């Protein structure tokens, strides 16, 4: 694993009780995330023909959240229970990269969803005025 100073860097600085609580919370949220996002993706797949364009961002958000859960939680849960990082420095770097990548994906999706909600509330006729059907009929 390396020398003693390298191992010390990976030891948790919070109490063992708090690490146990965090490991338990990670486990609960991980199971709920897999179930919830999995159900959403299953329903979206079954009803893909009736999805509206804005709902694809919700599907994309579910994919991002599920990807974060599948890549980060299997590393975080055993490390929390062990009260130290159980993996090497390369795995730590990949862990951080996945956290940033999927976090930015989720933030981007939430930003777009916020803009869509703002357009629907503040400009309710915006979508109807700029649709292909309206533009085509007004030019005839």
Q: At what angle do helices 55-82 and 89-122 cross, to 10 degrees?
A: 150
- Given this model, what pLDDT does residue 102 score? 97
Per-10-residue mean pLDDT of the chain, 140 residues long, equals 57 93 97 97 94 89 96 96 92 96 95 89 68 49
If one counts the domains in the chain, the total is 1
- What CA–CA distance (Å, rounded) separates 28 from 32? 6
- Given this model, what pLDDT does residue 117 score? 86
Helix (H, G, I), strand (E, B) or coil at 73: helix
CATH number of the domain encompassing residue 12: 1.20.1070.10
Q: Do the Cβ atoms of 110 and 61 come closer than 8 Å?
A: yes
pTM: 0.78
DSSP labels for 18-67?
A: HHHHHHHHHHHHHHHHHHHHHHHHHHHHHTGGG--TTHHHHHHHHHHHHH
Residue matched to tokens 């890549």: 71
**How many C-beta atoms lie closer than 10 Å to residue 64's C-beta?**
21
Residue matched to tokens 């700029």: 130
Domain that holds residue 108: 4-138
- Given this model, what pLDDT does residue 132 score? 47
């Amino acid at each position: 694993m390396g020398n003693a100073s390298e191992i010390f860097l990976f030891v948790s600085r919070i109490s063992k009780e708090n690490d146990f609580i965090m490991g338990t919370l990670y486990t609960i949220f991980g199971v709920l995330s897999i179930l919830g996002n999995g159900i959403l993706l299953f329903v979206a797949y079954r009803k893909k023909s009736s999805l509206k364009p804005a709902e694809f961002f919700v599907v994309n958000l579910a994919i991002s959240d599920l990807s974060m859960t599948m890549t980060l939680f299997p590393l975080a849960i055993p490390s929390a229970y062990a009260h130290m990082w159980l993996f090497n420095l390369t795995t730590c770097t990949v862990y951080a990269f996945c956290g940033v990548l999927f976090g930015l994906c989720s933030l981007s999706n939430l930003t777009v969803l916020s803009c869509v909600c703002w357009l629907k509330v503040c400009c309710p006729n915006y979508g109807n005025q700029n649709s292909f059907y309206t533009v085509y009929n007004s030019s005839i």
